[in-house]
Structure 1
């Protein structure tokens, strides 16, 4: 605003006040004359005064459209309000930034094409960009604004923000002044700001970059580390960052007063009687008991246990407060958990969002809480786990929105996974050679929850295909039904197998985590190419018909389909072959998988896994060689070729005869590599044993129990076409007649 012009105008108008006859506008673009007139507050017939014009100009300036406004009068009461509008931004470019940063900055800043150019908004934008890079550890970032008029149109600008990202401030040393209980190595895993390690640019090493906005939280993390060891009087200063902007290096210092550790003298619970809590038994079950050294982490776990217990009685908004009384004379602390349950809460509405493809009913049938139910925390968590186990969703969140003291709404917010794919793949495995795959699959056909697959696999030893369809919840009931047509052509080392068949399975959900099923299989297989040694020990060539019934029971309490971090998968089945056909045997199979995520304990997304499988065959007549048990390969014993670990018979070479009893297990550690693309690494140790036939009339049999083990590492990656595993394995002390391999991969198997 031109202040001197306004004062002159006000002075002139005050000399000769007159009535306004007409109001005209000059230079107005973004506002209509009617709107501008309404905003100004001027009206025809009104006395033209300095006070009125001053107010009109201020009102119009508040719209943020104008660089300058002044009013002229022709002397007869006809006034003109003259505007010089701010130019609009026709295009906004960010230069000097990498793609990922550019996307983040575009979402962060508020100026967009079409906005009016405003110096204050530009300065705020420059500050936001500087803060964005400071949060990432870059200091002295410079943002230069370049303006270019669009052709001859001064009302439009091309705006370019030239960003010169600053330098990383690197921490050389972290000093804990006054610390005796802990040194830097103790607090290093929990703080965000770490000192730079040798070769810190390598993955897995600390690069030492300052994370400015995490500094205040680091002090709290260190203090909680002391609290976990019972040092309740520990005081941690604010971080002192002594930085050199010449070398962009810094030393980070905390001043610490530790105090003495405290022991728990007493633990009690104060709760209303109507909750009917057995407080004595609950205290006995707590992690933190009288006589223990105080531990803030154990305190939080006990609070959560008590909170969940009360919430399961319908008290969704329960408050558990730990009242601690410190006795500084003997360094003891008494803990009283005070429970304020509030009111019992019922579910009013359940709203489903994010399911653009999946039908609402498919989501609802997995929920254990619905409209009218009394709130239950366990039901809520089980619902979330059940949805994640379906494989339909990448993310599941159930939000609680309070309506009043007695009701709440549940908002089930899901992010749908890519469940359907048309894929083709090519790869190489040391045991199978060239691997080709083509498939059309979907675990959520048209959002109905039904699963279907059509696939063909080809390798040096295998040609197989299948067509399958399964409805896991017939008419949204607890029953499932599925069927599969399949054909296989295998060229094993010691025989060839061609088979085709059909299987159908009827299942029922017994509890939330337990289900039972009954499968019928009819299959024709043709065995050829058996050498004399295998025929001599009883195996037959030719065509066999298998007709079998397989009752099974399965348990699954995991929290995710492809990448579980918590829970157990276990199952057992018995195959009764001999309901007609040529093959007569009983085969028992069982499996047990255990998953434990350690993020809650070590603040790092490490997952421990244990997997075990057991198999046993009883002969009731005849068992063909293709139904025997074998170990080796990605699914059982990595580092050994597929089906190569077995009792063997010798006839110029060693040939696998298959086993009657097998056991294999794996210990795995999974860790993140690139979180944003769901890529993880894995290390493992496998061990397996198998035994079988121990005698032959003419040929020697190596029938001792085969005990084999291996170790290795690999990559796990949840890709758009399914989970991918790439494994490098090393057999441990293999026998001279073992077939080993070092590299395998698979697509589609859960981890």
Structure 2
């Protein structure tokens, strides 16, 4: 760079530079704006030409790091600056480190090399060093990263990092010196570095791989675990890792001083009684006098107290606690002091991150508006409501203080893929070749409207449906839905064949009655036609009633109530879903009955208790059918399948009519499911679960048929929607039961 500046100075002197600048022209300038160039050059038309000043400007240009060469020409006062800019990186590839595209994109962010970044050898070298550090932190030693720079054209390059992972360091022995009250299994639940276990390749077993970057945190995690178990005097030093580089094996030593276990002796809350009454808070605390002290429960109590105060408008309330230890008796007193501060009002609600969803669609689910008194519960409920909408992968809401008594609420969302086009097919022994396809979008054009078109075609049945949903008509508390369907099916039995055609529609209108509670009314109309063809060898028995060709219309209205306060649509970790409806068939038509349906779903994450992302799920549903004049075959209740009783085929229990004889409809059903869900591949939104199902059904009694099952499942929140692969075993099946050891479910979650 210095040589070029000197050459310009000599050249300028040799041609006797003009006294006045007549014009200034820039060529090949793309990376910075002419305005910045003008400011940096610091000369303008009409100025006296000063070689030293121009040399200083060129030096400044080089400091930007954007240019490989700068040439300045002086043509009798007409200045021309010709820039040769450094090439940009058009593509970055990392080979040999990660396999998944999402992980590779994450690495690019970490090494700070992305498409469009200016290329410099130093940037590539810095990125290489970061990759080596990451490999070391992941437990690989002697790794090699080689770089290739490929010139695509004069302005762009491709940079490839070829990673050769070194040898993994395996922890073959982990010692916890001083640990008496807690065991290795307790520590394995919280630490990242663990001793290799037998059959380490099996899911859930420790592989022993070293995570060097996590070593300093493991001691803190163990210390925190002791605090949760009541050992307030516990001390855990940073671990010592002894590596044998000849065998790539390591020994890990922790040094622990446990101390005494403390019990909670007394709890005091000092808070302004005009804001909240402390006596109303005590019964809700997680810490219980006389029980072992737990630091995690203490923090939960601190958050609960803050929420009660913040719900009164004190957004910046502070809840400080003091732990008073009685070492002699191993007891502890807790004192909470609440500093409320000033009442806070909402100044503005700002929406960001929504590249597709309209602002108004988001705002209608935000419970805080400009001018409102701050409420922390509203703040938390807004996050849960937006996550339940299915429109967003992530929702983060920030509070930005703008004065002592005013804040802005910033809702930052990450858009999710709400639309999907699917096409599939298969072959079955009964249906033969099958084709199915669908087009669904729960947030079309970002309006919040949901549309769906579904088609299933096979040699035995054709199904078609189209639907439109509006969760907030004109952004009000009212919602609506319309659905149109048509199906044709051919059912083959030993004694007869039946061709069944059904077509109809449903319309529903509802309203949000209270937060998370909805009520509404649904009308459904179906026209059903059944044509029976009996086998020539089949003989009807006198005195018995057999199915004949029939046409009937089912017209019904169903008032309903539903409640949902879960924290996520696809994978809820806390909250309830419940609902009840009463279908009255007989608004015209031929079917005349009452059908009562109720359900309850409960979700609870044990992560707060164990730091494990395990989710307990419970589901129960009860249906009762009451004859009000006419119950047709299609109106009966059926037990079996993924939605009621896994391990048995859909419609396994109910009137099967195998010999054409009319059977009484099943009018009672009760189904229950218990599940424990575990993470499998969190980054891919994959989990697995163990379950137990129990169901009862009958024509006039719940206990006429009782069955149970158990098994496991894999679930994936795929771009097409929730997908479940269900592996089940019927526990008490009888000889003629239709069992099913494998099922899959697309579009429905627990």
TM-score for the superposition, normalised by structure 2? 0.84
What SS class does the counterpart of residue 544 from structure 1 fall into? strand
The match for 1:665 among 665, 672, 694 is 672
Q: 1:372 to 1:427 in 2, by over 3 A?
A: farther
Please state if 1:509 is matched with 2:502: no
CA distance in 2, matches of 1:120, 1:656: 81
Please state if 1:128 is matched with 2:130: yes
Please state if 1:526 is matched with 2:525: no
Q: 1:120 to 1:47 in 2, by over 3 A?
A: closer
1:646 is matched with 654
2:186 is matched with 186
What SS class does the counterpart of residue 221 from structure 2 fall into? helix
Q: How does 1:439-478 map to 2 (within 5 A)?
A: 439-458=438-457, 462-478=461-477
Q: How does 1:318-333 map to 2 (within 5 A)?
A: 318-333=317-332
CA distance in 1, matches of 2:111, 2:326: 52
Q: Does the aligned pair in 2 maintain the 1:239–1:254 contact within 8 Å?
A: yes
Please state if 1:690 is matched with 2:697: yes
Q: Does the aligned pair in 2 maintain the 1:533–1:649 contact within 8 Å?
A: no
The match for 2:613 among 605, 616, 619 is 605
CA distance in 2, matches of 1:96, 1:440: 36
Deviations along 1:205-224, whole A, 9 cap, x unmatched?
22111111211111111111
Q: 1:89 to 1:145 in 2, by over 3 A?
A: farther
What SS class does the counterpart of residue 360 from structure 2 fall into? helix
Q: How does 1:186-265 map to 2 (within 5 A)?
A: 186-265=186-265
Q: 1:145 to 1:734 in 2, by over 3 A?
A: closer
Displacement after TM superposition at 1:650 (Å): 8.4
Displacement after TM superposition at 1:22 (Å): 10
505-514 or 482-491, which moves further after superposition? 482-491
1:141 is matched with 143
Q: 1:502 to 1:230 in 2, by over 3 A?
A: same
CA distance in 2, matches of 1:509, 1:673: 36
CA distance in 1, matches of 2:721, 2:543: 42
What SS class does the counterpart of residue 173 from structure 1 fall into? strand
Displacement after TM superposition at 1:592 (Å): 1.2
CA distance in 2, matches of 1:158, 1:647: 67
What SS class does the counterpart of residue 379 from structure 2 fall into? helix
Deviations along 1:252-300, whole A, 9 cap, x unmatched?
111111111122222101223442x222342233121332221112111
What SS class does the counterpart of residue 128 from structure 1 fall into? helix
1:614 is matched with 622
Q: 1:558 to 1:46 in 2, by over 3 A?
A: closer
What SS class does the counterpart of residue 338 from structure 2 fall into? strand
1:629 is matched with 637
Tell me how many residue pairs correspond in the alignment: 712
CA distance in 2, matches of 1:160, 1:305: 51
1:76 is matched with none
1:16 is matched with none
CA distance in 1, matches of 2:252, 2:373: 52
Deviations along 1:52-72, whole A, 9 cap, x unmatched?
999999989866689999xxx
What SS class does the counterpart of residue 580 from structure 1 fall into? coil
What SS class does the counterpart of residue 420 from structure 2 fall into? strand
Displacement after TM superposition at 1:319 (Å): 1.6
2:412 is matched with 413
Displacement after TM superposition at 1:157 (Å): 9.2
What SS class does the counterpart of residue 214 from structure 1 fall into? helix
2:9 is matched with none
Please state if 1:108 is matched with 2:110: yes
Q: Does the aligned pair in 1 maintain the 2:434–2:459 contact within 8 Å?
A: yes
Deviations along 1:408-444, whole A, 9 cap, x unmatched?
1111112222222232222467987765322222222
Aligned-CA RMSD value: 4.2
239-248 or 137-146, which moves further after superposition? 137-146
Q: Does the aligned pair in 2 maintain the 1:87–1:157 contact within 8 Å?
A: no
Q: How does 1:547-586 map to 2 (within 5 A)?
A: 547-586=555-594
1:15 is matched with none
735-744 or 56-65, which moves further after superposition? 56-65
Q: 1:630 to 1:110 in 2, by over 3 A?
A: closer
CA distance in 2, matches of 1:614, 1:240: 58
Q: How does 1:46-445 map to 2 (within 5 A)?
A: 97-98=96-97, 99=99, 102-110=104-112, 121=123, 124-144=126-146, 162-275=162-275, 277-427=276-426, 435-445=434-444
CA distance in 2, matches of 1:438, 1:453: 11
Q: Which runs of 5+ in 2 are unaligned?
A: 7-16, 21-26, 71-83
Please state if 1:719 is matched with 2:722: no
Q: Does the aligned pair in 2 maintain the 1:429–1:745 contact within 8 Å?
A: no
TM-score for the superposition, normalised by structure 1? 0.84
Displacement after TM superposition at 1:582 (Å): 2.1
What SS class does the counterpart of residue 579 from structure 1 fall into? coil
Please state if 1:590 is matched with 2:592: no
209-218 or 429-438, which moves further after superposition? 429-438
What SS class does the counterpart of residue 259 from structure 1 fall into? coil
Q: Does the aligned pair in 1 maintain the 2:89–2:119 contact within 8 Å?
A: no
Q: 1:730 to 1:35 in 2, by over 3 A?
A: same
Q: Does the aligned pair in 1 maintain the 2:324–2:334 contact within 8 Å?
A: yes
Displacement after TM superposition at 1:139 (Å): 2.3
Q: Which runs of 5+ in 1 are unaligned?
A: 7-19, 70-84, 695-702
Q: Does the aligned pair in 1 maintain the 2:547–2:662 contact within 8 Å?
A: no
Q: Does the aligned pair in 2 maintain the 1:354–1:415 contact within 8 Å?
A: yes
What SS class does the counterpart of residue 674 from structure 2 fall into? strand
Q: 1:66 to 1:568 in 2, by over 3 A?
A: closer
1:77 is matched with none
CA distance in 1, matches of 2:674, 2:430: 23
Q: Does the aligned pair in 2 maintain the 1:649–1:657 contact within 8 Å?
A: no
CA distance in 1, matches of 2:176, 2:382: 45
Q: Does the aligned pair in 2 maintain the 1:173–1:195 contact within 8 Å?
A: yes
Q: 1:458 to 1:147 in 2, by over 3 A?
A: closer
Q: Does the aligned pair in 2 maintain the 1:428–1:744 contact within 8 Å?
A: no
Q: Does the aligned pair in 2 maintain the 1:345–1:375 contact within 8 Å?
A: yes
CA distance in 1, matches of 2:637, 2:731: 21
Which protein has the larger Cα radius of gyration, Structure 1 or Structure 2? 1
